[in-house]
Amino acid sequence: MSFSDDVRQELARVIPGARCCRIAELSAFYELEGFLLGTHNQFLDFNNSSPLVARKTLLLLKGLYPDLPTQVLVVKSRSRRAQICTVRVLGRAFAGRVYQDFREQSVLDGTDIPRKKCCRRAYLRGAFLSSGSITNPERGYHLEISTELSGLAEKIVAIMTSLGMEAGITQRKGSLVIYLKDGGEIVTMLNVMGAHSALLHFENVRIMKDMRNQVNRLVNCETANVDKTVKAALGQIEAIQAIDAAIGLEELPPKLREVARVRLENPYASLQEIGDLMVPKMSKSGVNYRFRQLQEKARQLDKLNTKY
């Protein structure tokens, strides 16, 4: 089972307590994959490929309208993925009653966005259950909800924005896809929808990935420092050997001769370590200055490449 399926299963078990939130979630089911059918609007259908979502739809309807006549239809093709589960509200009066409740839901600032925050959360939960998916955080951070209606896509983005998320919209195969790619915003979305177990798993994975990335950065930085130290040491040794071959180290001033000797005896030591081995001890900058003098001497003897 995928991580997306786990999230959907968890959300399918969340039943809002407030009537307004139940209507908001049902309205999301209807607006994304529902139809008002018949010559005289005799049927109101909620369609989904998931039996879990169909079951939740039925539970929400029966909780709101105990006397509501309903019918559950399952149409299967040769592929189970193509099955459609339909929860149908029967009769013009009952279908109209449910539809009217959707239309009369309180709105925010004259728009089609639910006024109450709890209803907006419920609407996003319904939208995700209807046509949403989320990538396993081990592979990457991506959550999306798809629809073919531009107005509905804008509504979902507006609801996300009102709850502190910055969603994007793109087109894919004739559909509009509302997406989140930031890990923090996906965590917010999971929390808003009420997928708390999935949120904890997502956060654990995200923390482990961040720790691995931090360790990798530190290792890479340390490796780069070691490489830099070794490269500098090799250049210093080449300069010392060139001087020794040309005139002999005995011809050097005592201070330069001593630092040359310590470097040859400790080819992989850092400047700080070289300084600690000197008698008396020297600072890192002091050791570096003497090595620059040695390299300048080697250049004067024309035994090194122009980079020295």
Structure confidence by residue, pLDDT tens digits, 200-222: 999 999 888 888 888 888 888 88
Q: Are residues 8 and 138 in the same domain?
A: yes
**Cβ atoms 288, 232 nearer than 8 A:** no
Q: Are residues 177 and 225 in the same domain?
A: no
Q: Are residues 240 and 139 in the same domain?
A: no
Q: Are residues 60 and 148 in the same domain?
A: yes
Residue 85: what pLDDT?
86
**Cβ atoms 170, 156 nearer than 8 A:** no
Let me know if residue 210 belongs to a domain: no
Residue 215: what pLDDT?
84
Range of the domain at 142: 3-194
Let me know if residue 205 belongs to a domain: no
Of 179, 194, 209, which marks where a domain is finished? 194
Q: Are residues 179 and 88 in the same domain?
A: yes
Distance CA 229, CA 261 (A): 18
Contacts of 102 (CB under 8 A, 6+ apart): 23, 26, 27, 30, 31
Whose tokens are 């998320």? That residue is: 165
Let me know if residue 307 belongs to a domain: no
Helix, strand, coil % in the chain, rounded to nearest 5: 60, 15, 25
Q: Are residues 238 and 161 in the same domain?
A: no
How many structural domains does the chain have?
2
Mean pLDDT value across residues 233-251 = 86
Let me know if residue 208 belongs to a domain: no
Q: Are residues 54 and 85 in the same domain?
A: yes
* Residue 23 pLDDT > 80: yes
Mean pLDDT value across residues 231-235 = 87
Q: Are residues 174 and 224 in the same domain?
A: no
Let me know if residue 206 belongs to a domain: no
Question: In percent, how much of the chain has pLDDT > 70?
Answer: 92
Q: Are residues 50 and 125 in the same domain?
A: yes
Average pLDDT taken over every residue of the chain: 86
Q: What is the CATH number of the domain that holds 96?
A: 3.10.28.10
Strand, helix or coil for residue 283: coil
Of 194, 229, 257, which marks where a domain is finished? 194
Q: Which residue has the higher pLDDT, 228 or 134?
A: 134
Q: How confident is the model over 50-105, as pLDDT tens digits?
A: 888 889 999 999 998 888 888 888 877 655 556 888 888 888 888 888 888 887 76
Q: Are residues 249 and 147 in the same domain?
A: no
* Residue 278 pLDDT > 50: yes
Q: How confident is the model over 118-154, as pLDDT tens digits?
A: 999 999 999 999 999 999 998 999 999 999 999 999 9
* Residue 282 pLDDT > 50: yes
**Cβ atoms 146, 166 nearer than 8 A:** no
Q: Are residues 222 and 189 in the same domain?
A: no
Cis check for the bond before 114: say yes or no (omega within 30 of 0).
no
Strand, helix or coil for residue 113: coil
Confidence of residue 307 (pLDDT cuts 50, 70, 90): very low
Confidence of residue 179 (pLDDT cuts 50, 70, 90): very high
Q: Are residues 153 and 247 in the same domain?
A: no
Residue type, 86: T
